[in-house]
Amino acid sequence: MVIFLNLEDITEPRDHWLITSQSDVEILIRGSEIQDRGRAMSVDYNSVRENPNREKPIVMALGCYPIVKEIASYFDLNSLDALSSTCWQVRVNLLQFRAHLIHLTLHCENELLRCGQERASKCARDFVGPCQGCNRVVCRNCAVKPPAPSLLRYRHRRLCRSCSSIDLTTLIFPPSRNLYSDVLNSSNLTTKTSNDSLNMHICRCPSSTIWLCKMCGRSIRNADQEYLSVWKWSTRILPSLGGLGIGLREANRGVSCGLGEKCCRAREVVLEIDCDAEDARENYITNRSENQSSTRFVDKLRPGYNRHEIEGIGGVMKNKLVKMVKVGECVSGCEKDGKDDENILALEIQGELRSWCSWCHKVIPANDEYKEILKLES
């Protein structure tokens, strides 16, 4: 049996409906009456209900299009949906700009590339964020799978004695930031802001999601293996040669500090590079870029102040690039560093010494420093 309902005429009575003993018809009629009563009650409730969030400054700011436009440029679709779910008034303010805000959210940098070059499938819009290594904005389809928890022990980089002995705040913040912190302390302000900024510069890789693009994801594993092989080579070769003759850990030939050019005792050294591989890499980058012209790359190949022509093997003329770079101080080995993989960097892995994370480029405090940070937070 079929019942036809005229939904356009609201005032039409239901006396003409055929009332039978069938239960389906009775349930349909009762459901329509309950819906009509609920609509009337909701209208009366909304007319009396007060909205305490309407006059708040932050909610009023989210109703201004220039402010919302700037905020949406740092969000993906998931973050924008979470923002609209905070309260009813925020959702109302954002719904009026919905069509524009969807196009203003974060886009993957590989979205304009063809499938097969830098991406395997169509880029997503719901989960987009900057890479922790190179800060490139990538989506979940262009990001690599997070490393396994068993590989977390290989991310440690040893720091020099100067970077390990100074205060953690002095190591993280530059001197200009320290002057600003002195002004805050002299004005008797709370240190909650400084504690929050300190937590932002501490490694959270074991507890947070590791977000890396494909290029950084491939390079971190190779860099970890290379760094580990350097320590294995130093522990095995030095005893066989009596610790002399190879120049390891002397002058600029040792393993540099994990901070690199940001080391407390960083110094400038002369670096000589064979230009064949460097020019090939720059040529590849230039061909991918549409804005750069070919003449700019040709000018770089000519000899100049930085480039010097040298005669290679067989009389072949080659170019050598000479430039000044900053390198960190050479680190020293420890007695606990063994020949096997488990004992290398044992003090950093166990948390007895401060180290540097090569994945997120942040400081890994020691266990005692972690306890002090927790006390400040409490």
Place of tokens 């400038």: 268
Cβ atoms of residues 302 and 279 within 8 Å:
no
Residue 298 to residue 283: CA distance in whole angstroms: 9
Cβ atoms of residues 353 and 346 within 8 Å:
no
Query: Judging by DSSP bridges, how do beta strands 267-274 and 317-327 pair with one another?
Result: antiparallel
Residue 28 to residue 35: CA distance in whole angstroms: 11
Query: Which range is most confident: 19-28, 98-107, 245-254, 335-344?
Result: 98-107
Is residue 292's pLDDT more than 60? Answer: no
Query: Among 204, 194, 205, which Cα is nearest to 172's?
Result: 194
Over residues 71-93, mean pLDDT: 89
Place of tokens 């067989």: 314
Reported in sequence order, the residue ranges of the chain that DSSP labels E, i.e. its strands, are: 128-130, 137-139, 156-158, 267-274, 307-311, 317-327, 355-357, 363-364
- Burial classification of residue 162, based on how many CB atoms lie within 10 Å of its CB (0-12 exposed, 13-18 middle, 19 or more buried): middle
Is residue 190's pLDDT more than 70? Answer: no
Helix axes 192-200, 175-186, angle to 10 degrees: 160
Cβ atoms of residues 233 and 241 within 8 Å:
no
Residue 143 to residue 147: CA distance in whole angstroms: 12
Residue 186 to residue 281: CA distance in whole angstroms: 51
Question: Which residues on neighbouring strands pair with residue 327, listed in sequence order?
Answer: 267
Query: Among 77, 257, 279, which Cα is nearest to 160's?
Result: 257
Sheet of 355-357, strands arranged across: 156-158, 355-357, 363-364
Tokens in use for 107?
């886009």
Lowest mean pLDDT among 87-96, 224-233, 368-377: 368-377
- Measured CA to CA in angstroms, residue 178 lies from 66, 183, 248 at distances of 34, 9, 36
277 or 148, which is more confident: 148
Residue 13 to residue 194: CA distance in whole angstroms: 69
Domain boundaries, the chain: 57-104, 149-231+332-377
355 or 255, which is more confident: 355
Query: Judging by DSSP bridges, how do beta strands 355-357 and 363-364 pair with one another?
Result: antiparallel
Is residue 8's pLDDT more than 70? Answer: no
Question: pTM above the 0.85 mark?
Answer: no
Residue 163 to residue 259: CA distance in whole angstroms: 8
Model pLDDT, residue 240: 53
Cβ atoms of residues 159 and 356 within 8 Å:
yes
Write the pLDDT tens digit of every residue in 107-144: 888 887 776 655 667 888 888 988 888 888 988 888 88
